Structure 1
Amino acid sequence: MGADREGRGRRRLTGVGVYAGCGVLLLTGCASMPDSGDLRGVESTPRQDAQVRVYAMPPRDDAKPLEIVQGFLEALTSDDPNYETARMYLAGKARAEWQPSESTTVLAEGPRAMPAPSGTEGDGGNILYRLTGQEVARVDAQHAYEPSGHSYSRTLHLTRVKGTKQWRIDGLPPGVVMGMSDFHRNYRSVNKYYFASSTSSGRLATVADPVYVRREVDPVTQMVRALLKGPTRWLDHVARTSFPSGTALKKGLGPLTPDDQNKLVVPLNGKADNVGQGRCKEMAAQLLFTLQDLMPTGVAEVELQRSDGGLLCELGEGRAATIASHGVGEGEGEGHEYFIDGDDRLVRMDADGSDRSPDPVPGALGTGDIKLRSAAVERDEERAAGVSLDGGKLYVGSVASGSSLGDPVVTSQGRTEDDRLTTPSWDGRDDLWVADRDRKKPRLLVLRNGVGEPLEVMTPGLDGRIEAVRVAADSVRIALIVEKDGKRSLFIGRIERDTDSDGQEADSDGGTAVSVVALRSATPQWEEVTAMSWAGDSRLVVVGRGSRGVQQIRYVQVDGSMPDGPEPAALTGMKEIAASENEGLPLVAHSEDGIVRLSSGSQWQKVVGEGSAPVYPG
């Protein structure tokens, strides 16, 4: 629970002067409070520097009920590691049993507090305040973010403590609550990394699991503890950890901090004492990948210790990539960007942005013999899939000189071009995905290794028709634009495959059953989504209309939150967009000006006047 910091300077309210309940930014200044009427989110000084810490102050003697409420809410937006100051505002069982880590409720603005109708002093010295607001999200005990959109209404019960006669809170809702701007100041999104549960080649692949942790409260230790607890509930069905069940940090540890050689020592409890070297190095790799996402410089080496302090194993960052494929692998997504040119051929350019002279790809898809409307390129850039100009046929061919195309691997019977095949997508296992929009028989299809008979993917819970498909490099998450009643929305689904006890795909009746389940909205506040592309391990770039109906380009997280950092420059008339999961490569888009490109820190630049369907490998 906490007051919202709007970042427009601090508003001074008439009343009783400076209260001890206000947050301190290692400098002076806090808001004064009225002693009657309703309580509103107090606007506080915005953070000026990432190193500035916000501290709370305990309640002053003889503070009135409203001061106690405000002081408590303000204390929850501070950088107090264990909320000890906030707990000073509590009494009785509330002080002993309150669990702030249970959840964080995020409101559009700071919570409003008003005396409840029955909240009058008297009746033994008790008073009730009601906290209200518009809930936009909730972060659970696993640090997972989930959007919401309903009214928030909870109560705080205050009583006079016997003996001291001081007002304190003795009844409160679980967890904490704060406004959105306070949330963004206090928390940051970081990826934990696990391994995909199923595999077709035996090669481990990492899966990003985004969580929110407090920015200034020992984030390294927070992330290590969160990683050891395992994947969040949504991801747990398709991801696994190499840490044995029950593994935790050794009791009594202080903050985990890399040494001057950028090495991190992680002492574990006895649950991990007997793991072998192979498994231990997988554990260390998970830590390295996670800490690289948390810290700008990452961690150079991880040492895991047994419960007795002995060496379990150690792993350097240079060796982590030998343990598992992680994000964009070597040579994947770094060579070229692709699009369909004015002659309906698949062409490519260097992905670093230096090349503005696209060349036809080697092989049949670059000759123009078969006119194309869209394409997808395998992540190693050895094969490509192309959809015919009328949208009715999907071809797969080698991107090598002299190669030819065989028969189409998928054919749609849709009545119109808009009722046929979507742009295809390759996952990290070299499986090829495409949706058939035939209104009589809409379906999502996957071709294992891009060949053979297409398998229809089960989609329980899908409500609408799939208009676009993009599969993440981890092969366990899929982004879908779904149309229903003329509106297009973006959903993230979980890809589940039948596997045996070793995680290998289990064939049944000549094929592996594949499902896309647990669909959740990635853009709950948007009115319409027209284009999207993966732009990182857990991030997408999206084109559409926001709540005000104006076209915009934004980055969104797979959990529906908005990541920190700058947004792409605006561009009018955008129809399609492509991003690499290597976040350092430019965005490429199809707009009313043709094919355009946006590098970091620059403006959109025109590449060619004619072209469509830009894609990176994947």
Structure 2
Amino acid sequence: MSAARTTPTRRRRRTGARALVGLLAVALAGCAAIPTSGAVVEGDVEVGERDRVVVLAQGPQADAAPEEIVEGFLLAGAAEVTADFAVTREYLVPQARSEWDPLAGAVVAEDVTYEQTGDARITAEATVLGTLDAEGRYAQAPEGARESLVFELQQDGDGSWRIARAPDGLVVTARDLERQFRATSVYFLTPDHRHLVPELRWFPDRDLALATAVVRALLAGPSPWLRDAVISEIPAGAELRPEAVTVEDGVAELSLQPAQAVQEADRGLLLAQVEASLRPLGVTSVEVSAGGVLLEGASTLEVWEGGDAEVVADGALLRLAGGTATPVEGVEPGPVTGLARSEDGATRVAVRPPGELVQIGADGVVPLLSRTALVPPSVDPEGYVWSASGVAGRPLLALAPSGEEVEVDADWLADRAVRGLRVSRDGTRVAVVSAGADGTTLDVAGVVRDETGAPVRLGPPVRAGAPLDPSGPVVWVDDVTLAVLTQGDVGAPSLVTVGGPSTPLPVVADAVALAAGRGERSLLVLTADGDLLRYDGRTWVRVPGVGPVTAAAYPG
């Protein structure tokens, strides 16, 4: 939704407080950060029906001025996200009612102003927080982003103003996005068929159509940035026939075509993808048929439970479990930073100043490689150790378990200096903080591997946390959420949803590093003075019995 700015001839201002806030009140059940890798199992969060208070959209008023017509049109559209937009279309001339597509996307905005920029033209300008495309992909906008929307009006036979041309899509507030759209993931598979991989999407929270929208997104496949890093057992070109998913008493029923291709797929994995995608909607089981045959099967997907944190304190390696720190026997890392380890603990690596990647274990500290401004490493599920030199133009590096050094191709990093990276625990995505001509950014890209599991290249990036100015340290908090530190003298950790908004956390003075297992309450922050703090859901609390700490890590 965009249009060129024109010279104002008359100006009328509305702020977000009147123009866009408070259209619907809906209690939102959290579903943007759910367990996503592994078999479909019962979660620790009960998902039920959401209570809903509906404010009906108001139609055009008699003798309303052009600015009021446009304002009312936007208000009505935001109020009818979960309806059929019948009232909203009353603001349009008859021909435009069939041409306007409200579900082509949405601008998430605040501080909307209206200007009469011609005899029959109104321009609405807003501060943009993010955008939503027709497939439910959300992208945060950079700080201070603006967008102008132009509306052409005309008078009908009674002299009332109506809109003759309107940009497709909606304008909603951040509150509308959370309350009227459902954030939920569609699930794909790692190439080795071991884990489910989520991609977060946002759909209008329409009771009867929501499950259908989710399944259609699943059938369409992953977005371009993730496409080469994952697979799907749902055959390419599969369609819903009939074109709807029915849900009754928690059971979702759907039929897919072409029947032969669907029946020849791995049925257990296909069912796992469908069930995991629908479970956040209150679905307890799925019945998928093809050609009249009900699909049955089981999968052996793995679930990552989180693991314990390990820290380096006073040169010793300690394991944190149940609030107690115990020494890890046979390991003396010495003064290192940037600790990382594999899930089974067989691989532990760290950075030894000034820029040496080392492996630590029973054999002591073993040098692996040296690079200028080496960033803290990450260990992926295949045992590859990732790192990078913080010098512009240097490639990402991955050390194989054999010690062989592999360069991971990422053309979009050619002119950028890597400041931090972290591979997701399913190994399909990597979060990269990098600095370039456009500043320092946080991006997420798919990891493309060869048939042996070795990383070969990164797919195209998708920006995350666009309003933020990240400093480098980044970790995965769950399968769709990152935590990152931002620039400045005072540390400001933020949670960043990949495909969603970001949330600032309480500041931590002189924060220098992060670690996370599964969930916000596993999040640790390390300060320059060696203090280790844990997030308790509201604030940061000191971890007792350890210090001074130079490094902290969970698996990954």
Query: Is structure 2 residue 80 aligned with structure 1 residue 68?
Result: no
Give the counterpart of 2:121 among 111, 119, 128: 128
Give the counterpart of 1:313 among 295, 306, 317: 295
Query: Is structure 2 residue 442 aligned with structure 1 residue 490?
Result: yes
1:216, 1:110 → 2: CA distance? 27
Query: Is structure 2 residue 555 aligned with structure 1 residue 613?
Result: no
Query: Any idea what the Cα deviations from partners look like across 1:468-506, whole Å, max 9, x if unmatched?
Result: 221012322111222448964423233223x4xxxx349
Q: How far apart are 1:151 and its partner, in Å?
A: 3.2
Q: How far apart are 1:378 and its partner, in Å?
A: 0.5
- Contact in 1 for aligned 2:105/2:131 (Cα 8 Å): yes
Q: How far apart are 1:131 and its partner, in Å?
A: 1.7
1:244, 1:170 → 2: CA distance? 43
- Contact in 1 for aligned 2:82/2:204 (Cα 8 Å): no
Residue identity opposite 2:469 in structure 1? E
- Name the counterpart of 2:332: 367
1:579, 1:187 → 2: CA distance? 28
Query: Is structure 2 residue 372 aligned with structure 1 residue 429?
Result: no
- Contact in 2 for aligned 1:341/1:610 (Cα 8 Å): yes
- Contact in 1 for aligned 2:419/2:472 (Cα 8 Å): no
Query: Is structure 2 residue 41 aligned with structure 1 residue 103?
Result: no
- Name the counterpart of 2:237: 246
1:541, 1:378 → 2: CA distance? 20
- Name the counterpart of 1:167: 161
Residue identity opposite 1:577 in structure 2? L
1:584, 1:111 → 2: CA distance? 34
Give the counterpart of 1:540 among 479, 482, 494: 482
- Contact in 2 for aligned 1:268/1:306 (Cα 8 Å): yes
Give the counterpart of 2:181 among 183, 187, 197: 187
- Contact in 2 for aligned 1:461/1:517 (Cα 8 Å): no
Please say which structure displays the higher CA radius of gyration: 1
Q: How far apart are 1:584 and its partner, in Å?
A: 6.5
Q: Pick closer, same or farther for the CA change 1:444–1:106 going to 2, 3 Å.
A: same
1:594, 1:283 → 2: CA distance? 47
- Name the counterpart of 1:358: 326
- Name the counterpart of 2:42: none
The 5 A counterparts of 1:22-37 are: 37=12
- Name the counterpart of 2:263: 276
Query: Is structure 2 residue 250 aligned with structure 1 residue 286?
Result: no
Residue identity opposite 2:523 in structure 1? L
Query: Is structure 2 residue 356 aligned with structure 1 residue 392?
Result: yes
1:529, 1:407 → 2: CA distance? 29
Query: Any idea what the Cα deviations from partners look like across 1:509-549, whole Å, max 9, x if unmatched?
Result: xxx67123423432322234242211111110122248xx8
Q: How far apart are 1:96 and its partner, in Å?
A: 1.1
The 5 A counterparts of 1:424-503 are: 424-437=377-390, 439=391, 442-448=394-400, 450-462=401-413, 463-484=415-436, 488-497=440-449, 499=450
The 5 A counterparts of 1:370-381 are: 371-381=335-345
- Name the counterpart of 2:536: 599
Q: How many residues align?
A: 515
Q: Secondary structure at the match of 2:411?
A: coil
- Contact in 2 for aligned 1:521/1:560 (Cα 8 Å): no
2:98, 2:59 → 1: CA distance? 17
Q: How far apart are 1:424 and its partner, in Å?
A: 1.4
2:65, 2:257 → 1: CA distance? 50
Determine which structure has the larger strand proportion and give its number.
2
Q: Secondary structure at the match of 2:278?
A: helix
2:340, 2:359 → 1: CA distance? 10
Q: Pick closer, same or farther for the CA change 1:52–1:380 going to 2, 3 Å.
A: farther
1:606, 1:406 → 2: CA distance? 27
Q: Secondary structure at the match of 1:290?
A: helix
Query: Any idea what the Cα deviations from partners look like across 1:116-167, whole Å, max 9, x if unmatched?
Result: 2x32xxxxxxx221121233422112211223444322211122345x6543
Q: Pick closer, same or farther for the CA change 1:393–1:39 going to 2, 3 Å.
A: closer
State the TM-score, normalizing by the size of structure 1. 0.75
Residue identity opposite 2:139 in structure 1? E
Q: Which is worse superposed, 166-175 or 535-544?
A: 166-175
Residue identity opposite 1:541 in structure 2? A
2:60, 2:152 → 1: CA distance? 16
Give the counterpart of 2:199 among 199, 209, 213: 209
- Name the counterpart of 1:152: 147
- Name the counterpart of 1:590: 526
Percentage of identical aligned residues:
24
Query: Is structure 2 residue 353 aligned with structure 1 residue 347?
Result: no
Q: Pick closer, same or farther for the CA change 1:530–1:486 going to 2, 3 Å.
A: farther
Query: Is structure 2 residue 306 aligned with structure 1 residue 333?
Result: yes
- Contact in 1 for aligned 2:464/2:499 (Cα 8 Å): yes
Q: How far apart are 1:460 and its partner, in Å?
A: 1.0
Q: How far apart are 1:171 and its partner, in Å?
A: 0.7
Higher relative contact order (CA 8 A, sep 6+): 2
- Name the counterpart of 2:225: 234
Stretches of structure 2 that go unaligned for 5 or more consecutive residues are: 2-9, 28-51
2:248, 2:410 → 1: CA distance? 45
1:443, 1:203 → 2: CA distance? 29
- Name the counterpart of 1:574: 511
Q: Pick closer, same or farther for the CA change 1:203–1:235 going to 2, 3 Å.
A: closer
1:188, 1:378 → 2: CA distance? 34
Question: What is the CA RMSD across the aligned residues, in angstroms?
Answer: 3.2
Query: Is structure 2 residue 187 aligned with structure 1 residue 219?
Result: no
Q: How far apart are 1:104 and its partner, in Å?
A: 1.1
- Name the counterpart of 1:7: none
Residue identity opposite 2:130 in structure 1? A
- Name the counterpart of 1:82: 84
